[in-house]
Amino acid sequence: MAYTAETLETLAADAAEIISRYPDPNSALLPMLHLVQSHDGFVSPQGIEFCATTLGLATSEVSAVATFYTQYKRRPNGEYTVGVCTNTLCAIMGGDEIFRSLSERLGVGHDETTEDGKITLERVECNAACDFAPVMMINWEFFDNQTPESAAATVEKLRRGEPVAPTRGPAAVGTFKETSRVLAGFYDGKAGEGVAAGPASLRGLELAREKGWTADGGGKQTAASGGESAPQPGEEHSSVDRPAEDPKSDGKGEAK
């Protein structure tokens, strides 16, 4: 179904703003596809046509990009994408069980949407939040240290239309369309809301501050001043001066 003249005018104005951010207009394609999702709830055929016409590309070129990335949906997406991380660490910490129980509860499998159009369930790859495994993402906001019970309770709230707050991020998770507009580059003013980095992510930084460690070796403290530091090349215990281990040895004794 073609866009109305009014919709086309709105999309064209937004697209012009996106395109103005790049030296090469074709670079605007990725955010423009998010813009289409923010309007249609997925990358629709008319959205592909709009991107192609605006950027002077073939529709096949736009489709090739839209089908490459999993964040672009080729079918109407649910109001909330619930992504359960089932990469190695999250999987063994319970991610597989969370996905299985949500799939059973919702009656949908991977990349499928509930009949009420509320939830699209996905298996997702590592979200670089392994220190909070197992992690669930809702419209790409973090829900840390999940259990099958906590995941189910959150999803039921969404189905009832109640707001849910991620562990880190804004005060409430936005809808798929709202989040898509942010991904298109239109700021929603929520960057300062909620918790930013969680305690597990900050632990390394805290330790470094306690010990006086810095990335460039500056601020090095001596044992006498109560701090610890790695030995520098040439100093006592430096690994540079340690004999290489024979790969055939058992690693327990001296190299032969």
Between 12 and 126, name the residue whose CB sits nearer to ligand FES: 126
> Is there binding between residue 98 and ligand FES (CB under 6 A)?
no
> Is there binding between residue 137 and ligand FES (CB under 6 A)?
no
Residue identified by tokens 């980095």 is: 197
> Is there binding between residue 152 and ligand FES (CB under 6 A)?
no
Find the part of the chain contacting ligand FES (CB under 6 A) among 71-79, 88-96, 154-162, 189-197.
Answer: 88-96
Between 106 and 129, name the residue whose CB sits nearer to ligand FES: 129
Residue pair 138/81 in contact by the 8 Å Cβ criterion: yes
Tell me how far, at minimum, the Cβ of 127 lies from ligand FES, in Å: 4
Which one of 35, 135, 173, 182 is in contact with ligand FES (CB under 6 A)? 135
Tell me how far, at minimum, the Cβ of 103 lies from ligand FES, in Å: 18
Residues in the chain: 256
Which one of 90, 108, 138, 155 is in contact with ligand FES (CB under 6 A)? 90
Rounded to whole angstroms, the Cα distance separating 152 from 44 reads 30
Tell me how far, at minimum, the Cβ of 136 lies from ligand FES, in Å: 10
Q: Which amino acid is at 255?
A: A
Quote the DSSP letter at residue 229.
Answer: -
**What are the residues facing 112 on neighbouring strands?**
121
Tell me how far, at minimum, the Cβ of 92 lies from ligand FES, in Å: 9
> Is there binding between residue 200 and ligand FES (CB under 6 A)?
no
Residue pair 167/196 in contact by the 8 Å Cβ criterion: no
Residue pair 95/133 in contact by the 8 Å Cβ criterion: yes
Between 58 and 128, name the residue whose CB sits nearer to ligand FES: 128
> Is there binding between residue 87 and ligand FES (CB under 6 A)?
yes
Q: 82 — phi, psi (to 5°)?
A: -100, 110
> Is there binding between residue 127 and ligand FES (CB under 6 A)?
yes
> Is there binding between residue 82 and ligand FES (CB under 6 A)?
no
Using the CB atoms, write b or e for 180-214: b if 16+ within 10 Å.
Answer: bbbbbbbeeeeeeeeeeebeeeeeeeeeeeeebbe
Rounded to whole angstroms, the Cα distance separating 80 from 139 reads 6
Helices (H) and strands (E) in the chain, counts: 9, 5
> Is there binding between residue 167 and ligand FES (CB under 6 A)?
no
What are the residues binding ligand FES (CB under 6 A)? 85, 87-90, 126-127, 129-130, 133, 135
